Amino acid sequence: MRAIIPVAGHGTRLEPHTLTLQKCLLPVAGKPVLEHILDRITNAGITDVTLITGHLGEQVVEFCTSYPDANFTFVEQKERLGLGHAIYQGLDSVKDPLLIVLGDSIFELDYNRFLSCPNSTIGVAPVPDPKRFGIVELTEDRISNVWEKPDNPPSNLALIGIYYISSQLELSMGIEHLIKHDIRTKNEYQLTDAFQVMIDKGHIFNAFEIDECLDCGIPETLLSTNKTLLTRMEGNSVHDSAVITNSQIKNCTISENCLIKNSQLENVIVLRGGEVINQKIKNTIVGFDEIFNLAQTEELEL
């Protein structure tokens, strides 16, 4: 089986960090988000991976050259016409199954069980505010409708970004239907709309409630994911080239060539070359080569 991971987006909500680094390569718990995703799917036996690239796509290609457990192909999405359009770039016109995983979240679930489902299956999770999400409507054990941010949600089960598709060909035909008839939502060809086309033509979709979705799409959730994963690891992630002196750190990811001196850090991600001196900071992303330095005549008491 093959997987498609779309990583073409600009990551505007994570600027300025994503102006110089593709958002899927931002680190949480010491590894790029993309690496966490790849670790989970390759552990489930998927080694053929297609990445849909765009913004800073050359960085994704370079990263993948050092990832040993998968065979990669890369397709550039030259026009930003929506997620459905992005996925369409990587599809083959064959009846083989496919895994789709969005590149800005880390999903915890039984991948082997998910990938052995007999029908196409959408990963879902209950949410408190379903009007803000794509929502599935169930009839018995099947998905009968997929709604994009409905005013009157029929359920609280949200699409969270992982999909098992039993036939690439049928998904390809569903997206082609959108393009042929210029069916867009928010001026984009949406994957959810293609699913609805497939459902209307008799394709069977089931729902699979996942264990956890660790979002990495905005600073707050990137930091909360970092904390969650490091808490499970019971430690910090510190690059060998980082220097830490007279400091206390908790649930921190410290990247290469960083300096932490006379400081207290809790749930902080320090990107390459960042410096934190004479600081007490919490729940913060320190940018590339950014210097947090509080001039003091006396050192902080740690």
- For residue 28, how far is the Cα from the chain centroid? 11
Euclidean distance between CA atoms 6 and 25, whole angstroms: 13
Written as tens digits, the pLDDT of the chain (302 aa) is: 999 999 999 999 999 999 999 999 999 999 999 999 999 999 999 999 999 999 999 999 999 999 998 999 999 999 889 999 999 999 998 999 999 999 999 999 999 999 999 999 999 999 988 988 889 999 988 999 998 888 899 999 999 999 999 999 999 999 999 999 999 988 899 999 999 999 999 999 999 999 999 999 999 999 999 999 999 999 999 999 999 999 999 999 999 999 999 999 999 999 999 999 999 999 999 999 999 886 543 445 55
The model's pTM is 0.93
Tally of CB atoms within 10 A around 159: 24
C-beta of residue 210 within 8 angstroms of C-beta of residue 162: yes
pLDDT of residue 298: 45
Residues 6+ apart with CB under 8 A from 207: 121, 122, 124, 136, 138, 143, 157
Q: What is the pLDDT of residue 300?
A: 53
DSSP state at residue 177: H
Do the Cβ atoms of 34 and 103 come closer than 8 Å?
Answer: yes
* Helix, strand, coil in percent for the chain, rounding step 5: 25, 35, 40
Do 106 and 225 contact (CB within 8 A), yes or no?
yes
